[in-house]
Amino acid sequence: GKVRAPTHIISTISDDRGEEPCYAGVPMSSIIEKGFGVGDVISLLWFKRSLPRYCTQFIEICIMLCADHGPCVSGAHNTIVTARAGKDLVSSLVSGLLTIGPRFGGAIDDAARYFKDAHDRGLTPYEFVESMKKKGIRVPGIGHRIKNRDNKDKRVELLQKFARTHFPSVKYMEYAVQVETYTLTKANNLVLNVDGAIGSLFLDLLAGSGMFSKQEIDEIVEIGYLNGLFVLARSIGLIGHTFDQKRLKQPLYRHPWEDVLYTK
Ligand code: ACO
Ligand code: LMR
């Protein structure tokens, strides 16, 4: 019989060997014929299945809402400085992307992990927040540099509104809101931020859609798929900032001395 030589790579999400490429078994022509959007493509390539419309719409809303947040945030700042140093598109983009992490845009996975664990163990928001404090860990998904109780993040409200209307259950989001209610008693800026909103709502999407087993949800949360939403979304804005700087022919950036405290 035929002997199959062992392969060096295993791949399960896409196939380009036939007449047309397939994403998770779905040929490109049906993706176009069915009018699929980027949310459907993400469902196929990340989750290896077609998700219901409200889920793909939610994914697309996350992408649109996180695409940019002005020139002053960490990622855009790095991209702008890099573009002004004369570097190319990819260098400017990755320079911005490299700021995404536990403080900026990359707290979605940890927010999902901690909210899920605390909710599923039945911890009250008080017990959860105080246990985090004892461990010296900031609650991921809580807190913002410029947003506060009186100037809430509109993106969070929009995500919550969509989910309350379309999701079968928003139990994890409600838990995150209860956590926010408690953290706001501590400081004005300890609001549920966009990372926390996406993290908690994606738990609701995974649990409520009926499309994922408990084991699959645990795996998605453990591997950490969700920061990918912010990385993907913000790439749109960072590419825009690169083009903007090039179009404006901005010179090399040098930070002003006056804005540095030189001290020993
Ligand atoms: N949980 C508990 N306490 C907090 C938190 C939090 N998430 N955030 C701030 N605090 C408290 C702490 O007491 C902190 O003091 P510490 O430095 O001794 O820990 C105090 O507030 C002041 O903190 P600052 O660093 O001055 O707050 P800042 O406004 O600079 O921080 C930030 C904003 C970085 C977002 C912070 O709230 C944080 O680390 N949050 C968790 C990570 C997160 O969710 N990041 C995503 C933000 S949204 C986005 O980037 C798209
Ligand atoms: C963002 O989306 O970039 C922001 O929430 C972070 C910020 O500092 O405004």
Task: State in Å: Cα 66 to ligand 2 middle.
Answer: 9
pTM of the model: 0.96
Strand order in the sheet with 26-27: 14-15, 22-23, 26-27
Ligand 1 contacts CB of residue 139 (under 6 A)? yes
Q: Please, which pLDDT band fits residue 2 given cuts at 50, 70 and 90?
A: confident
Alpha-carbon distance of 78 to 83, in angstroms, equals 9
Task: State in Å: Cα 237 to ligand 2 middle.
Answer: 12
E strand or H helix that includes residue 22? strand 22-23
Q: Please, which pLDDT band fits residue 3 given cuts at 50, 70 and 90?
A: confident
Asked if residue 81 has pLDDT above 80, the reply is: yes
Counting from 1 in the atom list of ligand 2, the atom nearest the Cα of 230 is: 2
- Token readout for 238 is 């960072």
Ligand 1, atom 13: closest residue by C-alpha: 138
Q: How many other CB atoms are there within 10 angstroms of residue 158's CB atom?
A: 15
Ligand 1, atom 25: closest residue by C-alpha: 145
What are the tens digits of pLDDT across the range 135-186? 999 999 999 999 999 999 999 999 999 999 999 999 999 999 999 999 999 9
Q: Across all residues in the chain, what is the average pLDDT?
A: 97
Q: Please, which pLDDT band fits residue 4 given cuts at 50, 70 and 90?
A: confident
Q: How many other CB atoms are there within 10 angstroms of residue 115's CB atom?
A: 25
Give the residue-averaged pLDDT of 102-127.
98
Task: Report H helices in the chain.
Answer: 28-33, 38-47, 53-65, 74-84, 89-97, 108-120, 125-135, 154-166, 171-183, 194-208, 214-223, 227-247
Maximal C-alpha separation, the chain: 77
What are the tens digits of pLDDT across the range 10-35? 999 999 999 999 999 999 999 999 99
Alpha-carbon distance of 37 to 102, in angstroms, equals 30
Ligand 1 contacts CB of residue 137 (under 6 A)? no
Mutate to test the pocket of ligand 1, among 108, 114, 133, 142 (most ligand atoms within 8 A of CB): 142
Ligand 2 contacts CB of residue 194 (under 6 A)? yes
Helix (H, G, I), strand (E, B) or coil at 258: helix
Task: State in Å: Cα 104 to ligand 2 middle.
Answer: 7
Ligand 1 contacts CB of residue 195 (under 6 A)? yes
Say what the pLDDT of residue 131 is: 98
Asked if residue 1 has pLDDT above 80, the reply is: no
Give the residue-averaged pLDDT of 82-102.
98
Give bridge partners of residue 192 from the DSSP assignment.
142
Complex confidence, ipTM: 0.96
- Whether the CB-CB separation of 242 and 89 falls below 8 Å is answered with yes
Ligand 2 contacts CB of residue 234 (under 6 A)? no
